[in-house]
Chain A
């Protein structure tokens, strides 16, 4: 593990430099999530494999050869005993703080909304979402109605609920946050690429039709978005 840490830190440093090249570029939390996932999975896989190999080795190697045989492990001296606590604890803590720092960096991407983000207000009801665009147009997600957003335009959703707790889940954009009566929460996404497969789903248990509380969210070119919004506004 110790050997991997400097190597991985170096790798992460390289990534950070390359992103700094586009000064003040708007971050993409979903992409950063995927990179962090790879780092964390690599980290836990290394620990898991080391421990699993040790367990299998011990379980096979130290089988009793006769019923009267007893274990021959020596009692640890005080120094050994403390060392076997402090050294692993230090390694685990180092790894914890390394992961915490990585996680914190990505957290900032999720929580710092870009200045130019378009704000959509969302209200959760049993069992659909209702969206209010900046121009006052209201779109609702009943009957699995898709809503649209413009490609390349960061969007922040300001959310609350009118009845019970819901959660605004966007698996495609790797984010969710609860919607609660009496509180306002937010998530923001960076729809860098056009897509027509993503959807919003309720992710906090809210009763009978919780499973069906969802609607698509398509990222489309600006012109198509404007036309769609005008159509929704006209239909009232």
Chain B
């Protein structure tokens, strides 16, 4: 992905120094991309081990339950905290948000560089889990008392969360100031790309909710290493305090991932369909901001089986079901953007189209989980596992991949489309369905999450097949995804250097990152002249008749 850009006019610093010490938002974006894809690779390898282990009854690959729990911990924590969030709000926002609003950089470039440094330190800290003998085994949720009483190293988890939290808060302040003060002259709020809006919403969520997570994990650290008793009922603490604090952040965190993914989809679909965004204002103010408004009052649906008072569980059932209203409005706008469009197909659009399927499947399977009486059984089963993979992991990852194909010509001056791209798309798409559909089916019959074995279910048949059969299909699916992801990565690296050269605006987009910059954009983004837009300008105005 790394594209050497020449720094014309003066003696160039060594290339590594230019990258490591950069304050250019585009290079920082690429650093985020490289870091998050590396985290994705390692966490994906963990997923393969997890799937392989469950393929048959008994122990295949692992030698102890603790070893398996370590893989699970790393997979969950790294995918969410080091791949999805930095991939979307780090890479995509950094590289493209300033270009989309006509800014020459972000408001505080050095703080931006510090954010990406913190991110890399966090990744190094997380990778230490593989070296220390007492690797964390507390799942990405880190519930006490287990996280306190375990012999494993909980501090690695806490400090990783701290570093990423600081990184995200600094990023949030930086980008909010950038969007508020550095938009091109003439650019009103209703002329912003949907991706800009979703990123703003994601950063507002980060700014409001991260401190709560930081508090939760810090108290965990104190309980484990300083002997405090915040979560210890034998000394007046409460085990549920942590879960409430944790999910008060971590449910909104789902939207930190989901919203920028939706934003990328809108931009790709409007561009490829050469159509205006359907019902733009409703999508922004009711859809995106509706989600932000409701994000902080639904967290108890993660505690439906945690013995919370009945009235809270029922109250949060209603608020959780009502998430369907803003999300429904966003889907109608997505669908409507295709209506009467002129759709061109390429790898980015294929990923975008598959996201429509993923958002339907992942979103609708969440509805049973919004209802506490359903969740009394479904909670902690592989049904939940399949649901959140479809809506959070796969939908957002596919949207991110769509974005990478879409913006690849902008970042490198070359296309990443081609036979390998098409092959890897289909491998990924077929693979995710093979992997996660079986988990819905056995999850409904009680297959628990976070189990490496399922001995007690050995005589249970679902539609004539055993749990082992379903796990086998899921494991085959996971390895097909691995093939897809490996070929895709090879394709990205190859295309960055040898791909087919692309014109400056290959998709004929109206958005500023395509119309006003070179590919890749040089320092300062827009050359000698500042970008100015008039009141009729819109990134989605294709049909000017």
Closest A residue to B242 using CB positions = A165
| Residue B278 CB within 8 A of the other chain | yes
* Per-position 1/0 for B286-330, Cβ under 8 A of A: 100000000000000000011100100110011001101100110
Of A51, A81, A99, A182, which is within 8 A of B335 by CB? A51
B237: A residues at CB distance < 8 A: 182
| Residue A209 CB within 8 A of the other chain | yes
Task: Assess whether B341 is in contact with A73, with CB atoms less than 8 Å apart.
Answer: yes
| Residue B130 CB within 8 A of the other chain | no
The interface-forming segment of A12-20, A148-156, A172-180 is: A172-180
Task: Assess whether B286 is in contact with A64, with CB atoms less than 8 Å apart.
Answer: no
| Residue B459 CB within 8 A of the other chain | yes
CA distance A97 to B320 in the complex (A): 11
Task: Assess whether A62 is in contact with B305, with CB atoms less than 8 Å apart.
Answer: no
Q: Name the distance in Å between B188's Cβ and chain A's nearest Cβ.
A: 16
| Residue A72 CB within 8 A of the other chain | yes
Question: A176 with B380: in contact, given A75-B276, A181-B145, A212-B453 (CB under 8 Å)?
Answer: yes
Question: A55 with B279: in contact, given A33-B377, A208-B69 (CB under 8 Å)?
Answer: no
Closest A residue to B447 using CB positions = A171
CA distance A37 to B448 in the complex (A): 18
Task: Assess whether A92 is in contact with B543, with CB atoms less than 8 Å apart.
Answer: no
Task: Assess whether B379 is in contact with A176, with CB atoms less than 8 Å apart.
Answer: yes
CA distance A111 to B377 in the complex (A): 14
Q: Name the distance in Å between B305's Cβ and chain A's nearest Cβ.
A: 5
Question: A54 with B335: in contact, given A103-B372, A167-B380, A181-B233 (CB under 8 Å)?
Answer: yes
Interface residues of A in 123-157 (CB under 8 A from B): none
| Residue A191 CB within 8 A of the other chain | no
Of A70, A75, A104, A210, which is within 8 A of B450 by CB? A210
* Per-position 1/0 for B387-427, Cβ under 8 A of A: 00000000000000000000000000000000000000000
| Residue B10 CB within 8 A of the other chain | no
The interface-forming segment of A40-48, A113-121, A224-232 is: A40-48
B371: A residues at CB distance < 8 A: 36, 40, 99-100, 102-103
Question: A71 with B274: in contact, given A59-B343, A176-B379, A214-B456 (CB under 8 Å)?
Answer: yes
Task: Assess whether B324 is in contact with A183, with CB atoms less than 8 Å apart.
Answer: no
The interface-forming segment of B167-175, B361-369, B521-529 is: B361-369
Q: Name the distance in Å between A180's Cβ and chain B's nearest Cβ.
A: 5
Interface residues of A in 87-115 (CB under 8 A from B): 88-89, 92-93, 95-97, 99-100, 102-104, 106-107, 109-111
Q: Which of A48, A95, A171 has the most CB of B within 10 A?
A: A171
Of B66, B145, B341, B361, which is within 8 A of A62 by CB? B341
A234: B residues at CB distance < 8 A: none
Of B145, B279, B381, which is within 8 A of A76 by CB? B279
Task: Assess whether A72 is in contact with B376, with CB atoms less than 8 Å apart.
Answer: no
CA distance A153 to B82 in the complex (A): 51
The interface-forming segment of B87-95, B105-113, B154-162, B352-360 is: B352-360
Of B143, B282, B306, B373, which is within 8 A of A110 by CB? B373
| Residue B331 CB within 8 A of the other chain | yes
A96: B residues at CB distance < 8 A: 318, 321-322, 324-325
A85: B residues at CB distance < 8 A: 279, 282, 286, 329
Task: Assess whether A165 is in contact with B143, with CB atoms less than 8 Å apart.
Answer: yes
Task: Assess whether A92 is in contact with B324, with CB atoms less than 8 Å apart.
Answer: yes
Task: Assess whether A176 is in contact with B314, with CB atoms less than 8 Å apart.
Answer: no
B45: A residues at CB distance < 8 A: none
Q: Name the distance in Å between B187's Cβ and chain A's nearest Cβ.
A: 19
Interface residues of B in 452-500 (CB under 8 A from A): 452-456, 459-460
Task: Assess whether A59 is in contact with B143, with CB atoms less than 8 Å apart.
Answer: no
CA distance A182 to B231 in the complex (A): 10
Task: Assess whether A181 is in contact with B234, with CB atoms less than 8 Å apart.
Answer: yes
Closest B residue to A58 using CB positions = B338
B377: A residues at CB distance < 8 A: 33, 171, 174-176
Q: Name the distance in Å between B289's Cβ and chain A's nearest Cβ.
A: 13
| Residue B238 CB within 8 A of the other chain | yes
Number of interface residues of A (CB under 8 A): 84
Q: Name the distance in Å between B422's Cβ and chain A's nearest Cβ.
A: 16
Task: Assess whether A73 is in contact with B145, with CB atoms less than 8 Å apart.
Answer: no
CA distance A199 to B353 in the complex (A): 43
Q: Name the distance in Å between B363's Cβ and chain A's nearest Cβ.
A: 9
Of B146, B324, B365, B372, which is within 8 A of A165 by CB? B146
Of A67, A73, A107, which is within 8 A of B339 by CB? A73
Interface residues of B in 511-545 (CB under 8 A from A): 542-543
A72: B residues at CB distance < 8 A: 340, 342, 543
Task: Assess whether A180 is in contact with B279, with CB atoms less than 8 Å apart.
Answer: no
A208: B residues at CB distance < 8 A: 64-66, 69
Task: Assess whether A103 is in contact with B374, with CB atoms less than 8 Å apart.
Answer: yes
Task: Assess whether B306 is in contact with A178, with CB atoms less than 8 Å apart.
Answer: yes
A214: B residues at CB distance < 8 A: 456
Question: A73 with B146: in contact, given A89-B325, A107-B310 (CB under 8 Å)?
Answer: no
* Per-position 1/0 for A176-200, Cβ under 8 A of B: 1110111101010000000001010
CA distance A64 to B340 in the complex (A): 10
Task: Assess whether B364 is in contact with A59, with CB atoms less than 8 Å apart.
Answer: no
CA distance A71 to B336 in the complex (A): 11
Q: Name the distance in Å between A183's Cβ and chain B's nearest Cβ.
A: 6
Task: Assess whether A103 is in contact with B373, with CB atoms less than 8 Å apart.
Answer: yes
Q: Name the distance in Å between A142's Cβ and chain B's nearest Cβ.
A: 15
Chain A interface (Cβ < 8 Å from any Cβ of B): 29, 32-33, 36-37, 40-41, 43-44, 47-48, 51-52, 54-55, 58-59, 62-65, 67, 69-73, 75-76, 81-82, 84-85, 88-89, 92-93, 95-97, 99-100, 102-104, 106-107, 109-111, 163-165, 167, 169, 171-172, 174-178, 180-183, 185, 187, 197, 199, 201-212, 214, 216
Known pairs A63-B342, A106-B373. 20 more at Cβ < 8 A? A33-B373, A37-B374, A44-B367, A55-B338, A58-B341, A64-B274, A71-B273, A71-B341, A84-B332, A84-B336, A85-B286, A93-B325, A96-B324, A107-B372, A165-B145, A182-B234, A199-B456, A201-B446, A203-B380, A212-B453
Closest 10 CB pairs of A and B: A182-B233, A171-B446, A71-B275, A103-B371, A185-B307, A64-B342, A96-B321, A69-B342, A106-B373, A58-B338
Chain B interface (Cβ < 8 Å from any Cβ of A): 64-66, 69, 137, 139, 143, 145-146, 149-150, 233-234, 237-240, 273-276, 278-279, 281-282, 286, 305-307, 310, 313-314, 317-318, 321-322, 324-325, 328-329, 331-332, 335-336, 338-345, 353, 356-357, 360-361, 364-365, 367-368, 370-374, 376-377, 379-381, 444-446, 448, 450-456, 459-460, 508, 542-543
Can you give 17 A-B contacts (C-beta < 8 A)? A40-B371, A44-B368, A62-B340, A67-B508, A71-B340, A71-B542, A73-B340, A81-B281, A84-B282, A93-B325, A97-B318, A100-B371, A106-B373, A176-B376, A180-B233, A180-B307, A182-B234
